[in-house]
A and B are shown apart, each in its own frame.
Chain A
Amino acid sequence: MSNERISTNISSWNRNYQFIIYAALIVVLALIPVFISSPFIIHICILTLVYIIATTSLRLVMTSGQFPLAHAAFMGIGAYSSAMLSKYWGWSPWLTIPIGAILAMGLGVFIGFPFSKLRTFYYAMVSVFFGAGIVQVIVAFGKYTGGSGGLAGIPTLFGAASKIPYFYFFLALAVVSVLIMYRLEFSRFGLNLKAIDQSYLVAGSIGINEARNRVIVLGIGCFFAGLAGAAYSAYNMGISPTNIDMTATLWLVLYVVVGGMGNFAGPIIGTIFLYMVPQFYRGLKEYTPFLTAALLFIVIFFIPKGIVSLPKLIWQKLKGRKTKREISQ
C-alpha cells in the first residue's frame, strides 16, 4: 500500500504522457530558429507562446468553476500599464513587465471578492461587462493610452534588429509560466479548485474555503495574463484596444475549449491548432472565422473533450473494433 503513488490527478499514465509531450515540444521549439530563418514564422511562434501563457492561465481559473470572460482585458491591464510606465517614465521594460503583471493580479484579487459570490452565467455576464469596462476606460483616457487607435512607440526589450532573442525570451517565459501552473494544478491547491468546481456544497462541508480559493486562483490567472500582455507590448512596440476586447477573450476561450478544458495540455494544443495553423494559409484569411466555426462544430460533436483527447479516442475506437472482430470470430 505504501508503494502506491500519491495520485492527485486522474491517472499517472496521463501525467507521464503529458510530460513527454511537453519535453518534446520544448526541444522542437528551441530548435526552430536554427532551421527556420523566416522572421514571419518566428513572429507567429512568439505570438503563439504569448497566447499559450494566456490560455493556460485562463484554464487554471476555469478549473475552479469560474468562467471569466475578461481575460484578454487583464492582458490589456498588464500591457498598457507596463507600456505606459516605460514610455512616459522611461523605466526599463525588464522592470515594467513584472509591474504590469502584478497590477493585473491586484485588480484580479480586488474584483475576485465580489466575483466569488457569483456562479455560472451570472459570473460570465458580469465578467463580460467588466472586461468591456476596462476597454472603455482605456479608450476614454486616450490622451495617455492612445485611445481607440492604440499606443505606439513602446520601448522594447532587445531592439528591433532581430526577432531571435525575443523568441528565446518568450520561450523561457512560457516554459516557466506553464511549469508553475502545472505544479499548482497537481498540488492540493489544484485538487481543492477541482473539488469546488464539482460541488461547492460538498467542498464547504469538508472545510474548503470556496471564496478564498477562488480569489487566489483568479489573482494567479490574472498575473499570468498580465505578464503575457506586458511582455507582448514590449515586443510588439504597439498595443491597441482591439487586442484586448471581448473578441480577443472569446478567441482565448475557444483555444481552451477546442484544445480540451479537462486536460492541462488542452489550451497549449488548442492554441497551436487554432492560432498557429491558420496563419500559414493567410491567403484564406477572410475565411478563417468560417473554418474555425466548422472546426468548433466538429470538435463539439465528435471530440467533446477536445483535440488533446483525440489520440486516446482513436485508440479506444481501434481497440473497440478489434474486440468486436474477436467476438464475431
Chain B
Amino acid sequence: MILEVEGLTKQFGGLAAVSDLKFNVIEGEILGLIGPNGAGKSTVFNLLTGVITPTKGKVSYKGKNITGKRQHEVAKLGIGRTFQLNPLFPNFTVLQNVVASFQLRPSSGFSDTFFNTKKYRDHEKHIQEQSLEILKMVGLYKVRNELANSQPHGYQKMLGIARALAVKPDLLLLDEPIAGMNPDEIDNTLEVIQKTQASGVSIVLVEHNMRIMELCNRVVVINFGQKIAEGTPKEIRENKEVVRAYLGGAYDTER
C-alpha cells in the first residue's frame, strides 16, 4: 500500500464535501477516482496534498501519517500532482516550467548559488538535461523555448504532467488530465500515463471521461463525497448504482 486513506472527511460549514472516504492505492497500480460533477474528486486531491486540511480522517503515505502536512512537505515526500485549471507558471517558458519544478535534490547552498560556483552550475546543468528528457518523453521538446501561456490547451495540460514528473514522484495524482483535449492529444496523454506507470510510479486519476477507465487497474466511484462503488473497470461499468449516479434514477437499466 503506497497510500491509505481512512475516514477522510471535509466539511465546508454544514456541507460535507467529502465524508468518511476510505480507499487504498496499491504500489504500481493506476487507480481511477471517478464520479459526476461536484462529487468531491478535486477536494479529495486537495486534502491528500495539503492544500486544505481535513476535518477528520487519516492519510498515510508509505506507512507514514501525512495528515495535515503542508503542500510543499507533501511534495518533498514524493507525491506529484497536476491541477485541473491553471496547471503551470504562465510567464515562464515551457522549459523553465520544468526546470523550476526540480526542487527535490539537496539543492545548492547559498554561497554556491551566490558565487555561481562550478558545483552550482553543474547542478543546474544536470537539472536542465533531465528537464529536456522529460519534455522529450511527453512530446513538448519542440516548443521548449516558448512561453507557457502561448501554448494550446492540450500542451498546457501536458506540461502540467511534465511539471509533476519533475518532482520525481512515487505517487502521481492527475486531476482530469485529458479534459478538453483533442483525440490525438488524448492518445499521447494515455501513452505518457502508461509509460509513467511502467517506470514504477503509482497513479491516481480523477476523471469523468469514461475512456480513461481502460487504463485503470481499479476504480473508486464517489458521489456527494461518499464512496458508492469500488472494483475493476468492468465491474464498475455493470454497477447499477454507478449508472444511476451518472444518468439519474429515471434512466435505470432495469427499465
Q: Are A and B part of the same complex?
A: yes
User: Which A residues have a C-beta under 8 Å from some C-beta of B?
Assistant: 1-2, 4, 6-8, 10, 180, 183-184, 187-189, 191-192, 194-195, 198-199, 201-210
What are 20 A-B residue pairs whose CB atoms fall within 8 Å in the complex?
A1-B129, A1-B132, A2-B129, A4-B128, A180-B114, A188-B108, A189-B113, A191-B100, A192-B103, A195-B89, A195-B92, A198-B90, A198-B92, A202-B89, A204-B70, A205-B49, A207-B76, A207-B103, A207-B104, A209-B72
Query: Size range of the interface on B?
Result: 35 or more
| B218 to A: closest C-beta gap in Å | 24
A191 with B113: CB separation less than 8 A: no
Is B81 interfacial (CB-CB < 8 Å)? yes
Are A202 and B103 in contact, CB atoms less than 8 angstroms apart? no
Is B88's beta carbon under 8 Å from chain A?
A: yes
Interface residues of B in 125-168 (CB under 8 A from A): 125, 128-129, 132, 163-164, 166-167
B51 at the interface (CB under 8 A from A): yes
- Chain A residue contacts of B104, Cβ below 8 A: 207
Residues of B within 8 A of A4 (CB): 128, 132
Inside 8 A of A210's CB, which chain B residues have their CB? 72
Contact count A vs B, C-beta below 8 Å: 93
Complex Cα distance, B175 from A201, in Å, reads: 14
A195 x B100 contact (CB < 8 A)? yes
- What's the nearest-Cβ distance from chain B to residue A211, in Å? 9
Residue pair B86, A199 in contact (C-beta under 8 Å): yes
Using known A-B contacts A2-B129, A205-B75, determine if residue A194 contacts B51 with beta carbons closer than 8 Å.
no
Kindly state whether residue B107 has any CB partner on chain A within 8 Å. yes
B103/A194 in contact, CB under 8 A: no
Digitize B88-109: 1 where CB-to-A-CB distance is under 8 Å, 0 elsewhere.
Answer: 1111110110011101100110
A206 touches B163 (CB 8 A): yes
Q: Are A183 and B72 closer than 8 Å at their CB atoms? A: no
Question: Which residues from A are CB-within-8-Å of B95?
Answer: 7
CA–CA, A180 and B111, complex, Å: 12
Whole-angstrom distance between the Cβ of B69 and the nearest chain A Cβ: 11
Question: Nearest 10 CB-CB pairs, A to B?
Answer: A204-B71, A207-B75, A207-B103, A206-B101, A198-B89, A187-B113, A209-B72, A207-B76, A6-B124, A195-B100
Determine if B83 is an interface residue (Cβ-Cβ < 8 Å).
Answer: yes
Write the B59-85 contact mask toward A (1 if CB under 8 angstroms, else 0): 000000000001110011000110100
Give the shortest distance, in Å, between A116 (CB) and chain B (any CB).
12
Residues on B with beta carbons closer than 8 Å to the beta carbon of A191: 96, 99-100
For residue A262, give the distance in angstroms from its CB to the closest CB of chain B. 8
A interface, over-half SS: helix
Q: B163 contacts which chain A residues (CB < 8 A)?
A: 202, 206
Q: How far is the CB of B199 from chain A (nearest CB, A)?
A: 19
B87 within 8 A of A: yes
Q: Give the contacting residue for A192; candidates B100, B121, B166; CB below 8 A.
A: B100
Complex: how many Å from CA A201 to CA B91? Answer: 15
Considering only CB atoms, which chain B residue lies closest to A10 in the complex?
B93
Say if the beta carbon of B116 comes within 8 Å of chain A.
yes
Task: Output the least CB separation between A191 and chain B (Å).
Answer: 5
Instruction: Using A6-B121, A6-B124, A202-B89 as known contacts, list a sample of 11 further A-B pairs with CB atoms less than 8 Å apart, ordered by residue number in A.
Output: A2-B125, A183-B114, A184-B114, A189-B113, A194-B92, A198-B92, A199-B86, A201-B86, A206-B103, A206-B166, A210-B72
Residues of A within 8 A of B99 (CB): 8, 191
With A4-B128, A206-B100, A207-B104: A198-B91 Cβ-Cβ less than 8 Å: yes
Complex Cα distance, B51 from A187, in Å, reads 27
Is the Cβ of B116 less than 8 Å from the Cβ of A183? yes
Given contacts A6-B121, A199-B86, A202-B83, contact A207 B167 (CB under 8 A): yes
Given contacts A202-B163, A205-B75, A207-B75, contact A188 B81 (CB under 8 A): no
* Chain B residue with the shortest CB-CB distance to A196: B89
Which B residue sits closest to A205, measured CB to CB? B81
**Most chain B beta carbons < 10 A, residue from A2, A198, A202:** A202
